[in-house]
Chain A
């Protein structure tokens, strides 16, 4: 059984009369990479700030590491945060920024730890340069190094690949996957779905302050997998025919009239012929595939047309 380390119960946030987050229930487990998907203004950053203890909820409760944050606010210090832009003094060097934070943590033997982290994020050679001379990707990586300095249990990242070039995106992805392998739990918000799908093990879709859906990576990939959709009157009769005639084992019965077949080798005409031969009336048959974007758009009510 996975250990639940973050538990949100009906947590909500409003600024005066404007509700930014409607009551949300969410459990996050140790060692997972949770991807938070949503359009700009969906409430992703607000949720991450709540997790990080930067803002206070207006309703609901939060448990971190099996303890309530109402009783112990310092539980938030076990989170490493990179929310919105990295918090950096641009007139100081990367090393100086790390050293400032090391002061706040009261770290004694800081130099080796700082150098190790800067090396890990690929900034060892430019650590003495002023941050204002850094590229966007370098700033993001320094932000991650800062978030890791306190050896957090959870890394909370908000759009860490925004504005990065393709190589920068790959570097960050490799870094995060590597960190996750060491047991670090990662919560990452992004609207770049394709990239998020390469890292996250579970996804939460946030829309207008509401958690619309929470789906595992396997479920998401299955939803987006290429399939054949068959509309027919007697699906129960069709299943034995497909198994016996075409050897199809992967299928899903969605309702009394819709059958989905996930078999890359099955051809439409073969299926149609086998069903007709078996006396099953077929109303329609088509190959379907939903892209990640379509899947997301459908759930956020923004339209999206399925490709035939």
Chain B
């Protein structure tokens, strides 16, 4: 497992797309904040508050809730690209017959996707901090502990999304199919459909059920610091559920797959 992880990590470091993707993400994030500052009046964070008056954690959530979720799109594209680059090169043929290599390669990729998600979060936090400093005067920082907790929960949720995408990339018959499914998931078309269906069938209770869908949970702002930490628990459970479910599904799929 560690050997395969080491191999994937070396490939990850040598990936030309990675720094480019992070740089583009950072630049667009910054550009988004700049545009927001220019048209602050038309943006509303609820209760008549403009984005400049939001704390760091509120601003982060506000950015995530803006459709489409750029972070999810980047995760989807990178996951499919990273998985398929090995597949189309055929490099797996060199090592896949090693002991436990099939399962190890899925777990190693899941861990590297955690690293990619972390780098994306670092870029997002840095862009938000720089953007708010440059384009919003006196933007409040807010409580740092709450911000850290939010980042941790959102990181878990985004990593779970990456692992779900890993399964999609493994199961998809072509790169294009993987990308299309990834984009549909990142744009939350599944989530919107589920929400509509749940509302239709269950009325107001449907909203609660639809929030168990991973992407709904990501784009839905978290209200941290609530009594009993209930709002913290639900996203954590959703993240872990999706991580385990799709991590296991990916490993089982790879184990049984005929590698043509």
B6 on the A face (CB < 8 A): yes
A76 on the B face (CB < 8 A): yes
Asked whether, in the complex, the Cβ of A55 is within 8 Å of the Cβ of B90, the reply is no
Cβ 8 A contact of A89, one of B3, B11, B258: B11
Asked whether, in the complex, the Cβ of B97 is within 8 Å of the Cβ of A53, the reply is yes
List chain A residues, Cβ under 8 A from B95. 101, 104-105
A81 on the B face (CB < 8 A): yes
A33 on the B face (CB < 8 A): no
Cβ 8 A contact of A99, one of B4, B10, B91: B10
Report how far A147 CA is from B93 CA in the complex, Å: 10
A88 on the B face (CB < 8 A): yes
A2 on the B face (CB < 8 A): no
- Within A129-155, the residues touching B (CB, 8 Å) are 146-147
Report how far A76 CA is from B258 CA in the complex, Å: 14
- Within B198-228, the residues touching A (CB, 8 Å) are none
Asked whether, in the complex, the Cβ of B97 is within 8 Å of the Cβ of A55, the reply is no
Using CB atoms, name the residue of chain B closest to A97.
B91
Report how far A56 CA is from B85 CA in the complex, Å: 24
* Distance to closest chain A CB from B37 (angstroms): 39
List chain B residues, Cβ under 8 A from A55. 258-260
Interface size class of A (residues with CB under 8 A): 20 to 34
Report how far A88 CA is from B85 CA in the complex, Å: 10
Given A52-B93, A96-B14, A100-B10, list of 9 further CB < 8 A pairs? A49-B259, A52-B97, A79-B97, A92-B14, A100-B11, A100-B91, A103-B3, A104-B4, A104-B6
* Binary contact readout A46-78 vs B (1 if CB under 8 angstroms, 0 otherwise): 000100111110000000000000000110110
- Within A75-109, the residues touching B (CB, 8 Å) are 76-77, 79, 81, 83-92, 96-97, 99-101, 103-106
* Distance to closest chain B CB from A123 (angstroms): 16
B101 on the A face (CB < 8 A): yes
A106-B16 in contact given A87-B90, A100-B91, A147-B94 (Cβ < 8 Å): no
Q: Which residues of A come within 8 Å of B, CB atoms?
A: 15, 49, 52-56, 73-74, 76-77, 79, 81, 83-92, 96-97, 99-101, 103-106, 146-147
B149 on the A face (CB < 8 A): no
* Distance to closest chain B CB from A86 (angstroms): 7
List chain B residues, Cβ under 8 A from A84. 90
Report how far A56 CA is from B102 CA in the complex, Å: 13
List chain B residues, Cβ under 8 A from A92. 14
A81-B7 in contact given A56-B258, A89-B91, A91-B16 (Cβ < 8 Å): no
Asked whether, in the complex, the Cβ of A88 is within 8 Å of the Cβ of B91, the reply is yes
Asked whether, in the complex, the Cβ of A87 is within 8 Å of the Cβ of B94, the reply is yes
List chain B residues, Cβ under 8 A from A87. 89-94
Using CB atoms, name the residue of chain A closest to B4.
A104
* Distance to closest chain B CB from A236 (angstroms): 56
* Binary contact readout B38-70 vs A (1 if CB under 8 angstroms, 0 otherwise): 000000000000000000000000000000000
- Within B89-126, the residues touching A (CB, 8 Å) are 89-101
List chain A residues, Cβ under 8 A from B7. 100-101, 103-104
List chain A residues, Cβ under 8 A from B10. 99-100, 103
Using CB atoms, name the residue of chain B closest to A101.
B94
Using CB atoms, name the residue of chain B closest to A96.
B14
A103-B6 in contact given A55-B260, A74-B98 (Cβ < 8 Å): yes
Report how far A97 CA is from B10 CA in the complex, Å: 10
Pick the most buried of A77, A86, A101, A104: most chain B CB atoms within 10 A of its CB.
A104
List chain B residues, Cβ under 8 A from A81. 93-94, 97
List chain A residues, Cβ under 8 A from B92. 87
List chain A residues, Cβ under 8 A from B11. 89, 100
Cβ 8 A contact of A88, one of B90, B97, B100: B90
List chain A residues, Cβ under 8 A from B89. 87-90
Nearest 4 A-B pairs (CB), nearest first?
Answer: A87-B90, A103-B7, A76-B97, A74-B99
Asked whether, in the complex, the Cβ of A54 is within 8 Å of the Cβ of B258, the reply is yes
A104-B101 in contact given A96-B14, A99-B10 (Cβ < 8 Å): yes
Using CB atoms, name the residue of chain B closest to A150.
B98
List chain A residues, Cβ under 8 A from B16. 91
Report how far A95 CA is from B14 CA in the complex, Å: 13
* Distance to closest chain A CB from B81 (angstroms): 13
A86-B98 in contact given A100-B10, A101-B7, A104-B4 (Cβ < 8 Å): no
Asked whether, in the complex, the Cβ of A77 is within 8 Å of the Cβ of B97, the reply is yes
Asked whether, in the complex, the Cβ of B3 is within 8 Å of the Cβ of A54, the reply is no
